[in-house]
């Protein structure tokens, strides 16, 4: 399958991802930079060390500023 994708100009590393606005991308970049410097704090005030958490915070802040960001995934109830 990888060979077929390469023929069409799509390499293996580029998967179909959500479309984020430039503003949202910048905000996520800023939060990643803060995390790497050790300045990013979570809502409870603790230092953020997870990349996933930093991205989530960046997207959340971008949403609050009105940037085009896809909706959050809804959790399914487990019974």
Q: Give the per-residue pLDDT at 73.
A: 76
| Mean pLDDT computed over 5-12 | 53
How confident is the prediction for the chain on average, in pLDDT?
81
Read off the tokens for 63: 């949403």
| pTM of the model as a whole | 0.66
Q: Per-residue pLDDT tens for 60-76?
A: 999 999 988 887 777 76
Helical H segments across the chain, by residue range: 2-7, 22-37, 51-64
Q: Assess whether pLDDT exceeds 60 at residue 3.
A: no
């Amino acid at each position: 399958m990888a060979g077929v994708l390469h023929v069409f100009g799509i390499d293996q590393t580029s998967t179909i991802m959500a479309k984020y606005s430039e503003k949202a991308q910048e905000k996520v970049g800023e939060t990643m930079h803060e995390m790497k410097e050790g300045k990013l704090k979570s809502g409870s005030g603790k230092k953020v060390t997870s990349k996933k958490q930093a991205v989530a915070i960046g997207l959340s802040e971008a949403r609050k500023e009105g940037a085009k960001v896809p909706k959050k995934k809804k959790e399914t109830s487990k019974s």
